[in-house]
Amino acid sequence: MKKFAIALVLVACVGVARADPKLIGQWKSDAELTMTFNRERARLEDKTLLFLEQMTGRQTITFTSSAVSTEMPDCEIQSALGIKSTMAGFKETHPYKQLGSTRTEVAISTREPVTGLPRITVYHFDGENTIWIYLGGETFPTLHLREYFVRVR
């Protein structure tokens, strides 16, 4: 019986998700790092490049030990035809669970901003204060992009 009780305690401890301390803080999209990588390594049409140039560098992601907040301000963008429009921003907070980590990566499960769909994201560390995420998959199925973020606090 004593072994059973110890086993239950160990199983309960394994199930507790702990946030990786290196992820905690606020991160801001870095337009220069993002666009440098994407120009060099992704095949982008001019109109896609124009859109990405206008969108990157605006979003912030803030991690606490149990939640992730994503904020994108309203912004004015211009199409390749010169048509201006306003993109509505958003601010959302969702709980997250850390799925695993290595020395250079942290994987979390949470909800996508705007759609609320379940999402697994892997944050890749390029040093202590720079991370990047892959922007392929369902959102951008053929582009294979990265977005870089730098720690602001």
Span 14-72, pLDDT tens digits: 334 456 789 999 999 999 999 999 999 888 888 889 999 999 999 999 999 999 999 99
Q: Which pLDDT does position 135 carry in this prediction? A: 85
Residue type (1 letter), 43:
R
Q: Which pLDDT does position 43 carry in this prediction? A: 81
User: Other CB atoms closer than 10 Å to residue 131's CB: what's the count?
Assistant: 24
Show the CA angle centred on residue 56, arms to residues 53 and 60, nearest 5°.
170
Q: Which pLDDT does position 140 carry in this prediction? A: 64
Q: Which pLDDT does position 10 carry in this prediction? A: 34
With b for 16 or more beta-carbon neighbours within 10 A and e for fewer, the 9-48 pattern comes to eeeeeeeeeebbebbeeebbbbbebbbeebeeebebeeeb
Cα 142 to its chain centre, rounded Å, is 18
Phi, psi of 79 (to 5 degrees): -75, 170
Q: Which pLDDT does position 139 carry in this prediction? A: 63
Q: Which pLDDT does position 4 carry in this prediction? A: 34
Span 134-147, pLDDT tens digits: 987 666 667 789 99
Domains of the chain: 17-151 (2.40.128)
Q: Which pLDDT does position 6 carry in this prediction? A: 37
Distance CA 62, CA 7 (A): 36
Residue type (1 letter), 85:
S
Q: Which pLDDT does position 21 carry in this prediction? A: 83
Q: Which pLDDT does position 65 carry in this prediction? A: 94
Span 84-119, pLDDT tens digits: 999 999 999 999 999 999 999 999 999 988 888 999
Q: Give the residues across from 41 on adjacent strands.
A: none
